[in-house]
Chains A and B, each alone.
Chain A
Amino acid sequence: MTMDRAQLKLTALAVLRGIAPEVEPGDIEPATPLRQQVDLDSMDWLNFLIGLHQRLGVNIPEADYARLVTLDNVLDYLQARLP
């Protein structure tokens, strides 16, 4: 699959909006912790990662959760692991 970063970002934001419909994609600061910007509890966060896994086929081991804080973190992580 070829997917550039812009497409990846659209996908990630679409998954996020599925969980938090009130999110305005343009308002998300890519370098600020996501959970500071969007009211996500641990169930929401897990569902966000599950959504990314299902859409993109990227495995996200639990040990890596701590590295996924900002939208940029998430995109870097996914980009390096796209199948």
Chain B
Amino acid sequence: MIEFKLPSLGADMDQGKLLQWHVQPGDSVKRGQVIAVVDTSKAAVDVECWDDGTVHQLIVLPGETVPVGTVLATLLAPGEAAPAATGGPAVLATTGPEPAKPAAATPVAAAAVAAPTRPPVSPSARKRAQELGVAVEALQGTGAQGAITLADVEAAASRSAATAPLDRAQAMRRAIAAAMSRSKREIPHYYLSETIPMARALAWLQQRNEDLPITERILPAVLQLKAVALALRRVPQLNGYYRNEAFEAVDAVHTGVAIALRGGGLVAPALHDVGTKPLVQLMRELADLVQRARAGSLRSSEMSDPTLTVTNLGDQGVETVFGVIYPPQVAIVGFGSVAVRPWVEGGELRAVPLLTASLAADHRVTDGHQGALFLAELRELLQAPEKLEAA
């Protein structure tokens, strides 16, 4: 039996509310398939399954809020036979100490006990309830003999949709505060910055974009993301996690991209394998990530596995960003705006587009020397933009 648990979708998450199941018992699922939607304080996240198998039992039902690590459902491994019916309560004991709402407190048991006197549910209501992820048994029917109607289901769905965003801004602010307080409390930050001439990179990009249709053009931000990923090859100690008093390096670079949300707050989901993808693919994936972050449809793997974060505030016109590391990561790279400023090159004063790149890194893992090597490498990579194009 495989336990499908609520994953941690970021350092600032300790519980989540199940919004919807995309599967039901008996469905076969594949590794990587989105099988549930969970609301964190920041966003609704599509949660992927980590194993192949068949859904055995859905333990947590839509509407319940449970702590990270709670078993949401059980799956049968391929070839595994369903066990004889076991007591629901034994499974429910693993749902942890978080008190759930009374109506949904013991969904399995309630469903089982209520079965003989369960109110009738019209087929269309049941179908719609499945589509909307509404726990149909928990509803009060308004039809004949307490029957649950289509209207009951839709009313319940709109109630939960209407109450969800009310305190979203406040919850997100709290979640960000918790993660950043932890960062400032636990991580001995050091800060470096470097001014990077961007004339070559911008000229190269302009030439590259010139003949391309608008849908294939690339923003300077993508060039920066790729350069960060390649510079990390030189200083891999900045890419990974600090957990259990030790640094765990990660080979792949999954760049957390800080994305401001309309109406306030931010998320920093991962753009995966940035170091090994061509620019045009990164641009497409970044556009998709930004769009989904704002629409609130990120995937669990994107929320849980960034290995380093990049924050770009250049569009707002600031010169330098002093980042706060997102635990358990060990570094954050910040980019300001590209602006034409005086610059001396070969003994001559010139007007040159300049970019300030900053690094905040964790002194438990690296020192300023390594941080300086990283920024120097980043600067050099942006002087040879053609090398950033390929994988």
Contacts and interface: CB of A to CB of B under 8 A. Distances in A.
Contacts of B215: 50, 53
Given A42-B221, A43-B287, A46-B217, A61 B210 contact: yes
A47 B315 contact: no
B214 interface: yes
A62 B217 CA distance: 8
A49 B219 CA distance: 13
B297 to A, nearest CB: 15
Nearest to B291: A47
Contacts of B160: none
A12 B217 CA distance: 21
A43 B286 contact: yes
B97 interface: no
Interface string B313-347: 00100000000000000000000000000000000
Contact of A62 (B209, B286, B287): B209
Contacts of B286: 43
Given A42-B219, A42-B221, A63 B210 contact: yes
A63 B206 CA distance: 8
Nearest to B210: A62
A60 B219 CA distance: 15
A20 interface: yes
Given A42-B315, A43-B219, A53-B215, 12 more contacts: A20-B262, A21-B262, A22-B262, A41-B260, A41-B315, A42-B219, A43-B290, A46-B214, A46-B217, A47-B287, A49-B214, A62-B214
Interface of A: 20-22, 39, 41-43, 46-47, 49-50, 53, 59-63
